[in-house]
């Protein structure tokens, strides 16, 4: 019985080394090579890989892959699925580098699998304390990679560096104190030689910030607070000491423009969410887009979408950067469909407001003034008795990624036309306790509201088409050079729309809620598209002929 | 007080061994809630609004999106105050129900238990004027309710099963359901009218609808499933198919039906 393996070994030893490698190349994935900053800057040029949360630094989620296209998308079939062993909600966008896929899992774990088969290389389980302070579920949305190191946020507000080849921990640093209500769920963003990362905890009276860490040592390089301290411009936009507990969390991944050396990052609601009486003023820089210097973190400009927010309209959306034709010239813009139901096109060099319109149902503002500041409808703030306002707390959209297609020039967003009764409550701040000052209540069943995927022209802020879905979805969007918009729905579908017309091309029932964004990659010339649904990560490709 | 501490210490131990023990009758006899005054209920309400309402809703009626259940009727995971205490203390593993902060004093957990208890009505404390026997008779005969509603496996399929309706609807709500059935219609009981590409129309109750398909049950209890991209049109009627009983039953007969329906619980 023992002779046979020995015989095989003997044959392998007899073969020249190169011949062995050639033989293996037909069965194993391509060799994993380090991810340099140059590769990340030019990520668009290697569409076979998906090397960061939003695909590219401009966060368009547009892939040049076109093997799967409007003509053959109906030929998609499932290639493999990976069952996440911890039962919870999967909000992960996997990263793929050279045939290896990195999947983050609830609560704060990470697995590397063969992207061709879904079979596991290694797994990292992050040990968590039992008394986490988290507002909205045990989620993790993805990793960043630089060199051969993965960077992951964890629910206990740590940042962990993990060896991409083995899953070994290289370093693990505390970003903030979880017992004071801080937590982390978003994928970090690599900016040159730094790991840039935000923080969650806007329902716990934290003070939000954006940090940059040394990827080798884990040392903090700079921290920019999303709420200015005493003596800094904007601190006087908070009454009394309210800035200390003002929230403005930074809980989704931002974008970066290498030419302008600016990082773009959204900020969340001021705290307490629904009682603005204790924090009079505009509450800078809550509900804003911040443009930060890529080396120092210094704020170059800010744009506040919702001054003195009392409805929890976080500006926690992924900023999409593109150069578009606008009024006869090419403009470097940032596109943003906000939770407050308005879509904005902003000059990303200066922060100048260019266009803005409501893209979903809303009753809180009459419109935007010439500077993009909302003109409020009086009397729409939450009350002790409750007042009906649209959009509801979950917003017209939320954290889930929008997309942009370079083919159509359109911006795509998952949108919700809903309304809710908003309540105000009096609350005192206590460290580590919720600090929200109210809440909300739906007066109708979810199925009575309208949800859709909407395509918006960023030059005019007009809606070009919409595709109705139900009920409210929290799935993100990915576009491809195959003319496709891929997304999912809360009722468990994964589907493809024609990016130009919004026409349905293909759908499959995966049976569980899609809370994640799709991503696409290729191995040996074959394109795949991956989506998490429920607790499972599914990968599709065209049928083999 | 020492006695209470011992009891709570024991509770904490059994909590770890799971809900089977936690909800058993003997434990419920072991420890009652000493924090159940109006003051405690209000303190529990304040804590609930702050810590629990994000998922369970500010009115504690639950949230389909978060999967947090309605806490205002019969609770499915706990049948006693001790059971509720243990869930709050230890969370429910594998769900989004997390434990409260470990340093939260037991007294405050009990206040929360008192508040949750105050949301549901103990049927023993409700004295209804109607006759349960008459109501049962009306249900199958004059009211003709059983042609659409099932109770314990008998009756029609065109309305909700009412075998345990007393656990989820208060007498006031039951009264409103009968006199004003269109006021609050759950999407399951909307009517869907489907026209196929040949012009054939089929109508039925909306069993389920999603982004790409719809399933209905017609008057003959046939089940139909339609892909939305293969039909000509779909019309939704967000009203109830149930008639109002304002004209057909007297006030006292309606009271009898309310008494009967409210008596329909698991124990019966």
- Per-residue pLDDT at B23 exceeds 60: no
Query: Cβ–Cβ of A447/B54 closer than 8 Å?
Result: no
Instruction: Quote the pLDDT of residue B26.
Output: 31
A169 interfacial to chain B (CB closer than 8 Å): no
Q: Is A293 exposed, middle or buried (0-12, 13-18, 19+ CB in 10 A)?
A: middle
DSSP, collapsed to helix, strand or coil, labels residue B119 as: helix
List CB contacts (< 8 A) between B53 and chain A: 439
Q: ipTM for the complex? A: 0.82
Q: What one-character DSSP code corresponds to residue A406?
A: T
Domain extent, residue A148, equals: 3-80+89-542
Report whether A292 contacts A303 (CB < 8 A): no
Which tokens belong to A405? 């297609």
Q: Do you find a cis peptide bond into A107, omega within 30 degrees of 0? A: yes
CA angle A59, A61, A538 (to 5 degrees): 130
**Chain B residues near residue A203 by CB distance under 8 angstroms:** 54
Residue B94 has pLDDT above 80, yes or no: no
Query: Residues of B near A (CB-CB distance < 8 A)?
Result: 49-51, 53-54, 57-59, 61, 64-66, 94, 96, 98-99, 101-103, 186-187, 209-212, 229, 238
pLDDT value at residue A259? 98
**pLDDT digit string, tens, across residues B126-176:** 889 999 999 999 999 999 999 999 999 999 999 999 999 998 888 999 999
Ordered alpha helix ranges (H), chain B = 2-16, 19-22, 25-30, 38-47, 53-56, 81-90, 106-119, 132-140, 171-179, 251-262
pLDDT at A154 (0 to 100): 97
- Closest residue to B212, CB basis, from A87, A425, A507: A507
A487 to chain B, closest Cα gap in Å: 12
What is the rounded average pLDDT for all residues in chain B? 84
Identify all chain B residues contacting A491, using CB atoms and an 8 Å cutoff.
210-211
Q: What pLDDT sits at residue A41?
A: 98
Sheet containing strand A158-163, strands side by side: A144-146, A149-153, A158-163, A169-174
Q: Which of A134, A438, A446 sits opposite B65 (nearest CB)?
A: A446
Q: Among A375-379, B19-23, B181-185, which stretch is predicted with the lowest mean pLDDT?
A: B19-23
Question: What distances in angstroms separate CA A200 from CA A57, A207, B61, one per listed residue?
Answer: 22, 10, 27
Q: How many domains does chain A have?
A: 1
Q: Give the Cα separation of A225 and A244 in Å (integer).
A: 11
Q: Do B211 and A203 touch (CB under 8 A)?
A: no
Rounded Cα–Cα distance for residues A166 and A169 (Å): 9
Interface test with A, best of B211, B214, B240 (most A CBs within 10 A): B211
DSSP of A93-111 = --EEETTEEEEEETTTEEE
Question: Is A491 within 8 Å of chain B by CB?
Answer: yes
CB contact under 8 A, B211 and A495: yes
Q: Which residues of A touch B186 (CB under 8 A)?
A: 445
Neighbours of A143 (CB within 10 A): 25
Report the distance separating Cα A379 and Cα A381, nearest Å.
Answer: 6
Give the pLDDT confidence score for residue B58 in this predicted structure: 87
Counted across chains A and B, CB pairs separated by less than 8 A come out at: 77
Q: Is any Cβ of chain B less than 8 angstroms from the Cβ of A41?
A: no
Domains and CATH numbers, chain B: 2-120 (1.10.760.10), 132-180+245-262 (1.10.760.10), 187-237 (2.30.30.100)
Residue of A489, A496, A543 whose CA lies nearest to A520: A496
Region B42-56: what's the mean pLDDT?
90
Give the SS3 label for residue A462. strand
Q: Is B54 in Cβ contact with A436 (below 8 Å)?
A: yes
Which regions in chain A score pLDDT beneath 50? 1-14, 23-29
Instruction: Output B10 or A471, whichever has higher pLDDT.
Output: A471
**With contact defined as beta carbons under 8 Å apart, do A320 and A255 qualify?**
yes
Phi first, then psi, for residue B104 (nearest 5°) are: -70, 125
Contact B53 A394 (CB under 8 A): no
Distances (CA, A) of B89 to A48, A165, A303, B34: 48, 40, 43, 17
pLDDT of B14 above 50: no
Task: Specify which of B45-54, B94-103, B255-264 reaches the highest per-range mean pLDDT.
Answer: B255-264
The tokens for A476 are 């993100």
Of A131, A440, A495, the CB nearest to B101: A131
B-chain residue closest to A425, CA distance: B49
Give the phi and the psi of residue B138 in degrees, each rounded to 5: -60, -35
Residue to test with chain A: of B50, B55, B57, B225, most A Cβ within 10 A: B50
Q: Do B238 and A448 touch (CB under 8 A)?
A: yes
Residue B198 has pLDDT above 50, yes or no: yes
How far apart CA B37 and CA B35 sit, in angstroms, is: 6
Token duo for residue B79: 């049948």
Closest-CA distance of chain B to residue A250, Å: 20
Q: What is the CA radius of gyration of chain B?
A: 23
Q: Does A433 touch chain B (CB under 8 A)?
A: yes
- Name chain A contacts of B103, Cβ cutoff 8 Å: 131
Any idea what the CATH number is for the domain that residue A516 is in?
2.140.10.10
pLDDT of residue B126: 86
pLDDT of residue B8: 38
> What is the rounded average pLDDT of the residues B243-261?
93
pLDDT for A243 equals 98
Least-confidence region, from A25-29, A212-216, B19-23, B203-207: B19-23
| Catalytic machinery residues of A | 312
Q: Minimal Cα–Cα distance from A95 to chain B, Å?
A: 26
Task: For A467, name the nearest residue in chain B, comparing CA atoms only.
Answer: B211
pLDDT class for B36, splitting at 50, 70, 90? confident
pLDDT band at B80 (very low <50, low <70, confident <90, very high): confident
Instruction: Please report residues of A whose CB lies closer than 8 A to that of B99.
Output: 130-131
Q: In this prediction, what percent of chain B has a pLDDT beyond 90?
A: 56
pLDDT, residue B1, reads 37
Q: What was the pLDDT predicted at A2?
A: 46
HSE on the CB side for A112, CA within 13 Å? 20
């Amino acid at each position: 019985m023992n002779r046979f393996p020995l015989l095989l070994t003997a044959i392998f030893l007899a073969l020249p080394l190169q011949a062995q490698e050639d033989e293996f190349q037909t069965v194993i994935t391509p060799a994993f090579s380090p991810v340099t900053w140059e590769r990340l800057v030019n990520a668009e040029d290697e569409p076979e890989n998906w090397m960061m949360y939003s695909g590219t630094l401009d966060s368009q989620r547009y892939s040049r892959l076109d093997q799967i296209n409007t003509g053959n998308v109906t030929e998609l079939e499932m290639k493999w699925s990976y069952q996440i062993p911890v039962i919870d909600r999967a909000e992960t966008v996997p990263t793929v580098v050279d045939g290896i896929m990195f999947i983050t899992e609830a609560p704060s774990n990470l697995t590397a699998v063969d992207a061709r088969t879904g079979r596991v290389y290694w797994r990292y389980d992050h040990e968590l304390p039992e008394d986490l302070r988290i507002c909205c579920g045990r989620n993790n949305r993805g990793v960043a990679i630089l060199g051969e190191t993965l960077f992951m946020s964890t629910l206990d507000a740590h940042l962990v560096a993990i060896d991409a080849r083995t899953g070994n921990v290289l370093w693990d640093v505390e970003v903030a104190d979880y017992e004071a209500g801080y937590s982390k769920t978003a994928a970090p963003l690599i900016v040159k030689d730094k790991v840039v990362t935000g923080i969650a905890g806007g329902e716990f009276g934290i003070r939000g910030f954006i940090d940059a860490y040394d990827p080798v040592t884990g040392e903090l390089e700079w921290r920019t607070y999303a709420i200015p301290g005493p003596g800094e411009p904007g601190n006087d936009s908070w009454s009394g000491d309210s800035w200390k507990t003002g929230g403005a969390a930074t809980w989704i991944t931002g974008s970066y423009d290498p030419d302008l050396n600016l990082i773009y990052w959204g900020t969340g609601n001021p705290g307490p969410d629904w009682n603005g009486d204790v924090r009079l003023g505009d509450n800078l820089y809550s509900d804003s887009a911040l443009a930060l210097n890529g080396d120092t973190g210094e704020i170059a400009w800010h744009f506040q979408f919702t001054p003195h927010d009392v409805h929890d309209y976080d500006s926690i959306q992924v900023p999409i950067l593109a150069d578009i034709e606008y009024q006869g010239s090419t403009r470097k813009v940032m596109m943003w469909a906000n939770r407050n139901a308005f879509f904005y096109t902003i000059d990303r060099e200066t922060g100048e407001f260019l266009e803005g319109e409501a893209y979903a149902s809303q009753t809180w503002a009459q419109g935007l003034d010439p500077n993009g500041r909302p003109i409020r409808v009086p009397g729409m703030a939450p009350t002790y008795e409750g007042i009906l306002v649209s959009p509801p707390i979950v917003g017209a959209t939320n954290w889930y990624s929008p997309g942009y297609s370079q083919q159509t020039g359109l911006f795509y967003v998952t949108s919700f036309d809903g309304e809710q009764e908003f309540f105000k409550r009096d609350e005192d701040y206590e460290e580590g306790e919720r600090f929200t000052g109210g809440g909300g209540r739906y007066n109708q069943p979810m199925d009575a509201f309208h949800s859709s995927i909407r395509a918006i022209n960023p030059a005019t802020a007009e809606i070009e088409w919409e595709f109705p879905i139900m009920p409210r979805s929290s799935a993100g969007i990915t576009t491809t050079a195959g003319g496709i918009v891929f997304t999912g729905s809360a009722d468990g579908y994964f589907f493809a729309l024609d990016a130009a017309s919004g026409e349905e091309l293909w759908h499959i029932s995966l049976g569980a809620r899609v809370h994640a964004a799709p991503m696409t990659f290729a191995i040996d010339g074959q394109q795949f598209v991956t989506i998490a649904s429920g607790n499972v990560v599914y990968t599709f490709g065209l049928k083999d002929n | 007080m020492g006695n209470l501490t011992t009891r709570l210490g024991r509770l904490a131990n059994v909590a770890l061994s799971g809900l089977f023990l936690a909800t058993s009758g003997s434990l419920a006899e072991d420890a009652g809630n000493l924090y159940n005054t109006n003051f405690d209920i209000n303190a529990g309400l304040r804590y609930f609004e702050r810590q629990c309402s994000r998922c369970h809703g500010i009115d504690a009626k639950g949230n389909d999106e978060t999967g947090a259940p309605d806490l205002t009727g019969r609770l499915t995971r706990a049948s006693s105050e001790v059971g509720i205490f243990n869930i709050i203390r230890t969370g429910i593993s594998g769900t989004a129900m997390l434990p409260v902060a470990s340093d939260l004093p037991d007294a405050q957990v009990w206040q929360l238990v008192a508040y949750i208890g105050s949301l549901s009505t103990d049927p023993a404390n409700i004295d209804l004027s109607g006759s349960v026997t008459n109501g049962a008779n009306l249900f199958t005969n004059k009211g003709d309710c059983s042609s659409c509603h099932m109770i314990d496996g008998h009756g029609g399929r065109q309305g909700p099963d009412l075998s345990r309706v007393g656990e989820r609807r208060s007498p006031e709500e039951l009264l409103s359901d009968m006199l004003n059935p269109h006021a609050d219609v759950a999407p399951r009981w909307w009517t869907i009218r489907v026209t196929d590409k040949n012009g054939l129309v089929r109508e039925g109750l909306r069993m389920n609808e999603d982004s790409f398909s719809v399933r209905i049950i017609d008057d003959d209890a046939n089940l139909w499933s339609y892909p939305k991209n293969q039909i000509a049109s779909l019309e939704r009627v967000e009203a109830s198919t149930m008639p109002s009983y304002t004209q057909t039953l007297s006030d006292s007969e309606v009271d009898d039906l309310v008494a009967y329906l409210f008596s329909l619980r698991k124990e019966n």
